[in-house]
Amino acid sequence: MRIEVLDTTLRDGSQGEGVHLSLGDKFAIAETLCELGIPLIEAGNPASNPKDAAFFAEAAQCPGLFGRLVAFGSTRKRERTADEDPGLSALIAAGTPTVTLFGKCWDFQVRAVLGAEPEENLAMIADSVARLKAAGRRVIFDAEHFFDGWKADPGYALACLKTAAQAGADLCCLCDTNGGSFPEEIAAGVRAARKALPSLPLGVHCHNDMGMAEACSLAGLEAGAVQVQGTFLGFGERCGNCNLSALIPSLQLKKGWELIPPEGLRAWTPAARRVADILNFSLPSSLPYVGRSAFAHKGGMHADAVLKDPATFEQVSPEAVGNSRRFLISEVSGRGMLAEKIGRFFPELTKDNRQTARILARLKELEQEGYQFESAEAGLVLAVMRALKEYAPCFELVRYQTVNEQPAVEGVPSSALVKIRVNGKTRLCCGEGNGPVNSLDKALREALTAFYPSVKEMSLTDYKVRVLTPQAATAAVVRVLITSTDGRSEWSTVGVSSDVIDASFKALSDSIEYKILILDKQGDCTKQSPR
């Protein structure tokens, strides 16, 4: 079964709260979607703002991309003719082979929003579609509020579709604009439209206000729709749109339907991360197929089964969507999982090695103390080295001191003094920063750079504090998780203490030790660093 995909990340997705796209952002996302093989990319309304108009004008210079772009706009204004309507003129001027034209299909909306009578709205639909067809465009008529309109007055909602079809619309997309329909209602509405207009191709456009956008889209497709609309990561108005990053792999890998080229799916996860970066959002780890947790295994029995046969606890292969399998170390881990997790660093620690069991016991003791290695895999490597007695610290801490001043002096509220010893030589350095941890980080790296120049490449990219014993109030034990980078790799370490500065120092020093002991010695950081 072949289904046409229309991605509206650049139009409907940009209406989501917190989404702000520059002209360059729009091009970067459009090019990513094009590389995946998405056939139709709805890129904005050229009549609504100068940025969208500029996007279409510049995109016209990119033939491979431009042929997939879709301009979006509304039916003519009630007080204008179609030939005079500036919105329709802008749609035609955009030059895209396909245009999306939306029109009201709920008589309540027609009266309340347009201030028009239902028959007047039908004329607006007919005139608008006819003008776009006369200009040689493929016209997708987005039947706005179709399902609510069909439930309220099925005759009028279907009349809107018939009017668009008679005027020449190539496809009518039935929109659950408010996201308030159940899957069975979507299916019934699609079947009713097919019965009324058996030769008219239909699409579905579902919003996620009840958390059912993907289920509703599937219901519409199974009822006979041949096009699905959504946004790549589900961003959109209010609660978002149908999440195509979840729906497309499900339909293609599980049902065998044809939506995009297979090589597009194999690039699916990297593309999702790229789009999330452009949107300046952290990709939720629990997203189906593309999230970091999508193929992560924590339970010991689960991991053991996956090591024997991935099909035991994975619905599809992670490679099919460009993702990778991960094993998470915790108090519920088994020896097999630990051996798999650290095998590239300690190949001798097989599942049946007695040391593996002893190390696993030690890790569970650390977890009991508050350490967590699930998200601090670099810290895990160091913990194993310590348990094996293979750990030789890169430096000895002589002492450190932090000072916090308020009001801040010259805008810098904190300073830190760190004294370390390396091979019998001591070094004392000071750092100033925005808080004690920031100043401590600067002082420590400054002190170590004289002995280990590569430390200069490092910087922190994330810092998290978790209170583990809130009942102890200000004396609570805290866990600090930091993520560091050297521009090539990224790694995370953890520290635990009842003193947040001490916990931070433990995580910081482990981060530096991992850089020196593991990454610098292995050379190819990109392939070897755990994430």
Check whether 422 has a pLDDT greater than 70: yes
Q: Are residues 217 and 327 in the same domain?
A: no
Structure tokens at 432: 């100033």
Predicted TM-score of the model (pTM):
0.72
In Å, how far from its chain's centre is CA 373?
23
Residue at which a domain ends, from 243, 260, 277 = 260
User: For residue 284, which amino acid is it?
Assistant: P
pLDDT value at residue 531: 33
In a domain, 265, yes or no: no
8 A C-beta contact, residue 197 and residue 222: no
Are 124 and 27 part of one and the same domain? yes
> Total domain count for the chain?
2
| 97, 230: one domain | yes
In a domain, 415, yes or no: no
Res 345 pLDDT > 80: no
Q: Give CA–CA dist 386/374, Å, rounded.
A: 18
Q: Same structural domain for residues 256 and 383? A: no
Query: CA–CA separation, 107 vs 121, rounded Å?
Result: 9
Q: List phi, psi (to 5°) of 517.
A: -80, -30
Residue owning tokens 């007055």: 153
In Å, what is the CA distance from 336 to each residue of 307, 387, 436? 8, 18, 41
Residues 180 and 319 occupy one common structural domain = no
Does residue 177 share a domain with residue 79?
A: yes
Q: Do 92 and 195 fall within a single domain?
A: yes
Q: Is 106 a member of any domain? A: yes
Q: Flag whether 446 is in a domain.
A: no
The range of the structural domain enclosing residue 56 comes to: 4-260
User: What pLDDT score was predicted for residue 277?
Assistant: 81
Between the CA of residue 209 and those of 102, 196, 458, what are the distances in Å?
20, 28, 43
What is the average pLDDT score of the chain? 90
Residue 397 domain flag: no
Token reading at 300: 């010991």
Q: Is 103 in the same domain as 251?
A: yes
Give the integer Cα–Cα distance in Å for 229 and 247.
11
CB 442 within 8 A of CB 433: yes
Are both 22 and 137 inside the same structural domain? yes
Whether residue 216 is contained in a domain is answered as: yes
- CA 531 → CA 269, 393, 507, distances in Å? 15, 22, 15
Q: Which amino acid is at 199?
A: S
Q: Which H helix or E strand runs over 156?
A: helix 154-167
Burial category of 59 from C-beta neighbours within 10 Å (exposed 0-12, middle 13-18, buried 19 and up): buried
Q: How many CB atoms lie within 10 A of CB 487?
A: 9
Last residue of a domain, one of 387, 406, 421: 387
In this prediction, residue 490 carries a pLDDT of 87
Looking at residue 530, its pLDDT comes to 37
Answer for the pair 118, 106: CB distance below 8 angstroms, yes or no: no
Query: Which burial class, exposed, middle or buried, applies to 408 when counting CB atoms under 10 A from its CB (0-12, 13-18, 19+)?
Result: exposed
Q: Are 193 and 310 found together in one domain?
A: no
Decide if pLDDT at 529 tops 50: no
Q: Does some domain include residue 517? A: no
Q: Tell whether 307 and 253 lie within a shared domain.
A: no
Q: Please give the pLDDT value at position 308.
A: 80
- Of 333, 359, 387, the position where a domain reaches its end is 387
pLDDT at 95 over 90: yes
Average pLDDT score over residue span 81-93: 97
Asked whether residue 480 is domain-assigned, the answer is no
Coil, strand, or helix at residue 348?
coil
Q: Note whether 119 and 206 are same-domain residues.
A: yes
**What CATH number should be reported for the domain holding residue 168?**
3.20.20.70
Tell me: the pLDDT tens digits for 133-163?
A: 999 999 999 999 999 999 999 999 999 999 9
Close Cβ partners of 440 (under 8 Å, ≥ 6 residues apart)? 400, 402, 416, 418, 431, 433, 501, 504, 505, 508
Please name the residue that has the structure tokens 């009991």. 368
